[in-house]
Amino acid sequence: MGCSLLGEAGSIKTFYNNHRSILFFIMITWLKTFVVSTLIFQLHIARIFEVLFFLGSTLGFLIMTYGLGMYLNVKWQNRYYLFLHCVLTIILYANVVYYREFTDIITLPMLSMSANMGDLSTSIFALVKWYDIIYFFDLIIIVYLLMKKTNCLTVQKLFFQQTKGYVFTAIIIMTIVISLGNVLEKTHFFNRDQLVRTIGLYSFYVYDMFVHTQTNAQPVFSNEDDWSRIEKHLNEYHVSPNPDMFGIAKDMNVIVVSLESVESFVIGDTLYGEEITPFLNELIDDSFYFENFYYQTGQGKTSDAEFLINNSLYPLGRGAVFLTHDTNEYQALPETLSHYGYYNSVLHANDKTFYNRDVMYPNLGYDKYFSFSDYNISIRNSVGWGLKDIDFVEQSMNYIREFQEPFYSTIITLTNHFPFHLDEEDQFIEPFDSESIILNQYFPTVRYTDEAIRVLVEKLKEAGLYENTMLVMYGDHYGIANTHYEQLARFLDKEIDLYEEVKLNRVPLIIHIPGIKGEVLDTISGQIDVMPTLLNLLGIPEGDHTMFGNDLFSKDREGFAVLRNGTVVTEENIFLNETCLNYKNGEEIPLELCEPNRERGAWELYFSDKIIYRDLFRFKENRLLGNE
């Protein structure tokens, strides 16, 4: 056919004529991966060496993996190439779908979450689009060419003597690129976008497999000596809790409410003249409200937020701690409170095995987990992920009013969960009008959750529990992914640049103590700071707790928050994506001005990871109660 080359004038021409198939598969996969990575994953490669590393690493990986097919019998080579291309397409497409909502890359530890896929089905279906067929067009063309038996896809077996140098070179190229890419930027370990930008998507999984193997082996090689550097770091940045706030909520009940996907930008704002969060706005007037409070979750999302709140440790950058390290020793808040006579519970109308909660909760010191089977759930009172928040709160109060006091209870809401479905009769506010259905639906579900909190407070008052209960409400993670920022900018009436994008990582934190006058605090903080704050308010000494956070009311506190991707926010500057911004106005400033804070943030994440991966609390003497 028309694909033939006349003659075999040289080795390159000969190789091309004999191996058009492998060259075709490599080139089409290479091109497809580059286009998708830059356009869909928004990996805006700005520097020439990043382009070269990305292209070189991806090409090296493809040469090595497709090249293995050259050892096969001729009749099996095209089948192998087609199979490999299908696998790589699935990997690419799975990440496309995942990135649409989570703006992240799938990691190997996330495979342990496969048991939760049934619960995630609503979200997955919302992410799959009809036009995604475009990602598989090349497969249709390839299958057609193979069926036509065109000589455009010719193959010929290469013997070991002919190919050992070829394969060895491919392996060396990819190994060097991965090594250089990892060393090139220290923050790559924490920022998968930058890592993939440098070494490519497929090479990332080689790297991730290496990290996965390495971290799984860490507990075997750990010992008590690992604590010395960690404690030195913590002592350097620890500040004393505010003595004036010590014990102002002593012996009170504590209800911690996880506000699913609620971000700070909705607080105090309106839509079409209607308040989006009228009750929270009202409650804030009589509470401590932290307006610069950042979520610090990783791939474990809501479970990561729970981990942060209850341990003052950072979640892992890969996977969910609840799934991968559920048998570790911890110094969790519920366990500490149990020594002070608290009854600890979690109320969440979801499958008890989701995020392995039924195993992790007892390990953290919770006495009881009220899950899906403890609630009356029907088609009438459920939507999206499960029981509607108002029904959930009403049924939860049947349990709460019977708890022995004092109690510590975590309530996890569900209705304001992606993709934000809500029956029209339950909507207290009109949807937004934009091209983003997700953004449009977000406001009614936030408003519904706000109404559920109103019901909770009213029920606490009816039960006679309100006056002796400290309410702590926090947003667990973002609600609107950056893939919807163009439409969100219309609502906010401003451009969302890098500076504004960082500020959209803020979530509400409200601490309401009946009888105590509140205020709005602007200290830069994060979920890591909640546990030391609650201990101080409850009049419990820090003792020998290992906590990366600091009391939010401390008079010596310096504003600081490091996000799980390595972004660092301080009162002076913001570090993200190898860029340094002035905190006050968002103007770009010299990168070296961010270096001390970037370095502190990197060490924070590293040391916290080390504690978890090596299960270091098993070596730590239990002196948690301090001196009363």
Contact call for residues 608 and 614 (beta carbons, < 8 A): no
Q: According to the annotation, is 270 in a ligand binding site? A: no
Is the bond preceding 109 in cis, omega lying within 30 degrees of 0?
A: no
Rg of the chain on CA atoms, in Å: 27
Q: According to the annotation, is 578 in a ligand binding site? A: no
Show which of 531, 554, 577 is a domain's final residue. 554
Residue that wins the pLDDT comparison between 307 and 41: 307
> Does residue 571 lie within any of the structural domains?
no
Q: Is the pLDDT of residue 112 over 80?
A: no
Q: Do residue 170 and residue 266 come from a single domain?
A: no
Give pLDDT, residue 182. 47
Q: What digits encode the pLDDT tens for the residues 455-466?
A: 999 999 999 999
Span 88-114, mean pLDDT? 77
> Does residue 329 lie within any of the structural domains?
yes
Residue that wins the pLDDT comparison between 143 and 252: 252
Query: What tokens appear for 482 in the block?
Result: 């950056």
> Does residue 240 lie within any of the structural domains?
no
Give pLDDT, residue 2. 44
Show which of 537, 554, 571 is a domain's final residue. 554
Closest-CA residue to 396 (of 417, 360, 430, 372): 372
Residue that wins the pLDDT comparison between 515 and 61: 515
For the stretch 449-452, contacts whose Cβ atoms lie closer than 8 Å and that sit 24 or more positions apart, written own/partner, are: 449/259, 449/260, 449/262, 449/389, 449/413, 449/415, 449/416, 450/276, 450/277, 450/278, 450/279, 450/280, 451/279, 451/389, 451/390, 452/388, 452/389, 452/390, 452/392, 452/393, 452/413, 452/415
Q: Is the pLDDT of residue 190 over 60?
A: no
> 183: pLDDT confidence band, cut at 50, 70 and 90?
very low
Q: Which of 128-137, 160-169, 202-211 has the lowest mean pLDDT?
A: 160-169
> Does residue 569 lie within any of the structural domains?
no
Ordered DSSP codes for 443-461: HHHHHHHHHHHHHHHHHHH
Q: Is the pLDDT of residue 306 over 80?
A: yes
Distance between CA 284 and CA 89 in Å, rounded? Answer: 49
Q: Do residue 266 and residue 198 come from a single domain?
A: no
Q: Is the pLDDT of residue 46 over 80?
A: no
Q: What is this structure's pTM?
A: 0.81
Q: For the chain, what is the mean pLDDT?
A: 86
> Does residue 592 lie within any of the structural domains?
no
DSSP-assigned letter for residue 380: T
> Does residue 482 lie within any of the structural domains?
yes
Which positions are annotated as active-site residues? 302
Q: Do residue 188 and residue 77 come from a single domain?
A: yes
Query: What tokens appear for 279 in the block?
Result: 């009750």
Q: According to the annotation, is 19 in a ligand binding site? A: no
Range of the domain at 120: 11-218
Give pLDDT, residue 69. 81
Q: Do residue 200 and residue 282 come from a single domain?
A: no
Q: Is the pLDDT of residue 209 over 80?
A: no
Q: Is the pLDDT of residue 111 over 70?
A: no
Q: Do residue 472 and residue 520 come from a single domain?
A: yes
Q: According to the annotation, is 477 in a ligand binding site? A: yes
Q: Do residue 212 and residue 322 come from a single domain?
A: no
Q: Do residue 201 and residue 282 come from a single domain?
A: no
- φ, ψ dihedrals at 510, nearest 5°: -125, 125
Residue that wins the pLDDT comparison between 354 and 305: 305
Q: Do residue 171 and residue 299 come from a single domain?
A: no
Tell me the percentage of the chain whose pLDDT exceeds 70. Answer: 81
Give pLDDT, residue 18. 61
Q: Do residue 372 and residue 504 come from a single domain?
A: yes
Q: What digits encode the pLDDT tens for the residues 513-565?
A: 999 999 999 999 999 999 999 999 999 999 889 999 999 999 999 999 999 99
Q: According to the annotation, is 163 in a ligand binding site? A: no
CATH code of the domain covering residue 449: 3.40.720.10
Q: Do residue 496 and residue 355 come from a single domain?
A: yes
Contact call for residues 528 and 304 (beta carbons, < 8 A): no
Residue that wins the pLDDT comparison between 16 and 68: 68
Show which of 490, 522, 554 is a domain's final residue. 554
> Does residue 2 lie within any of the structural domains?
no
Q: Do residue 173 and residue 24 come from a single domain?
A: yes
Residue that wins the pLDDT comparison between 165 and 379: 379
Total domains, the chain: 2
Give pLDDT, residue 224. 62
Distance between CA 123 and CA 121 in Å, rounded? Answer: 5
Residue that wins the pLDDT comparison between 174 and 315: 315
Q: Do residue 61 and residue 151 come from a single domain?
A: yes
Q: Provide the 10 A C-beta neighbour count for residue 390.
A: 19
> Does residue 392 lie within any of the structural domains?
yes
